[in-house]
Chain A
């Protein structure tokens, strides 16, 4: 707090102001030995996620560097919540590791809380022989696994909690939302995995005595967030990382709606690699995760430039 007892009317007061402020800042700038780099561009890395019909592909690169120097090649951190939600993290690597740990802890807490919310004091790891506990746990795994929307909101919340000193991470949350269409003349769509509906019957895997048919469609969900958790959703593709601008351009030109899973792998892979060719802070290997509705997640290695 700078206190000026009286204001000098002369023009030298401006120079005094300037000199005073610069003098305050100078020692700080001198002490910082390294250049002031953008923390999001220090360690490198890029992610691209694209949607197809009933499927999603997420391509991540493998470079971890310190500025221009490559330190280690290891695929970007991708958190797998369950077979229908993935979270890719890119940015300052220390914050990526801290945030992925925090997110995992939140997921464990949620699981524990939902399990304990039924009034059983036993820990989730103990195998209880009582039938009621096991039926609750099976109900949990079927009906209360997290939707991509909820995962995205949780991630956004975790990031905004650190509004004043943010995690320099730009995550991407992708997933497939299950939409059960019950065809009985009218098609009544409702999202089946809401947490309130744990009393629903699971029609899809029981043999139906009724005359209604249920198909499960999977609606892709893509959401990219900035460092303070602002969600931007898309039905087509989202990108994050140092090659973000190139990725948006490539993806925009190559994407088209209703891609099959094979086409999606080709399109996403080609768009990703083309953008990476031109970016020196990403590369050194690329991995593509293909998430298909009802089939799980497949890991595909892409070969790319080592620079």
Chain B
């Protein structure tokens, strides 16, 4: 039911997700932040049951922090973080799988390059220019196919994301009134906009 999608542009990545926390017929809250910050220059939008969402995103982000502490402040590149995340999903797959689908975006401060990864709950990983998880993919991928090109700037990327959000709000059966949009670039992870303030949890 969650909509998570991301668009890469020249110099960064945008990750957007809805803010609904719901199960079955009940909505618990409409200001949940599903884009978890992993490190200073990466974040992942997670879709799935709230338990796995919170558990897995905290597990990954704390392990990345531990790596930094254990290795004299050495940070993992987004490529390494994505592969680490995939490895954790793969190990857990045959023990007790995390039912999370992820869009992981990061900015490599050494290579000055942004990257976006699509990760499945079955531990499949693909490096993509834009992507969506969940039902959002049925609505949004065609918009992104049409509008995305190499060398976008942040405004253009945000415009694509806004188009996708509008499409979901018009055509998607489940009402998702609030969306949170985050950008990851050389300055780190910034919240560009949100429908409802996630701090009021």
Q: Are A71 and B123 in contact (CB under 8 A)?
A: no
Interface string of A28-62 (1 = CB under 8 A from B): 00000000000100110000000000000000000
B92 to chain A, nearest CB (A): 11
Q: Are A93 and B138 in contact (CB under 8 A)?
A: no
Interface size class of B (residues with CB under 8 A): 10 to 19
Interface string of A69-104 (1 = CB under 8 A from B): 101101000000000000000001111111000000
Q: Are B124 and A93 in contact (CB under 8 A)?
A: yes
A294 to chain B, nearest CB (A): 35
| A96 and B122 alpha carbons, distance in the complex (Å) | 11
Give chain A's interface residues, CB within 8 Å of chain B. Answer: 39, 42-43, 64, 66, 69, 71-72, 74, 92-98, 165
Q: Are B138 and A69 in contact (CB under 8 A)?
A: yes
The interface residues of chain A, by DSSP majority, are classed as: mixed
Q: Are A94 and B123 in contact (CB under 8 A)?
A: yes
By beta carbon, the residue of chain A nearest B121 is A94
B127 neighbours in A (Cβ, 8 Å): 72, 74
By beta carbon, the residue of chain A nearest B93 is A94
A64 neighbours in B (Cβ, 8 Å): 124, 126
B50 interface hit (Cβ, 8 Å) = no
| A195 and B123 alpha carbons, distance in the complex (Å) | 36
Contacts A/B (CB < 8 Å), 10 sampled? A39-B122, A71-B118, A71-B128, A72-B118, A93-B122, A94-B86, A94-B93, A94-B125, A95-B90, A97-B124
Interface residues of B in 68-97 (CB under 8 A from A): 86, 89-90, 93-94
| A169 and B94 alpha carbons, distance in the complex (Å) | 15
B137 interface hit (Cβ, 8 Å) = yes
| A41 and B66 alpha carbons, distance in the complex (Å) | 38
B106 neighbours in A (Cβ, 8 Å): none
Among B86, B89, B123, B128, the residue within 8 A (CB) of A72 is: B128
Among A43, A74, A97, the residue within 8 A (CB) of B90 is: A97
| A96 and B118 alpha carbons, distance in the complex (Å) | 16
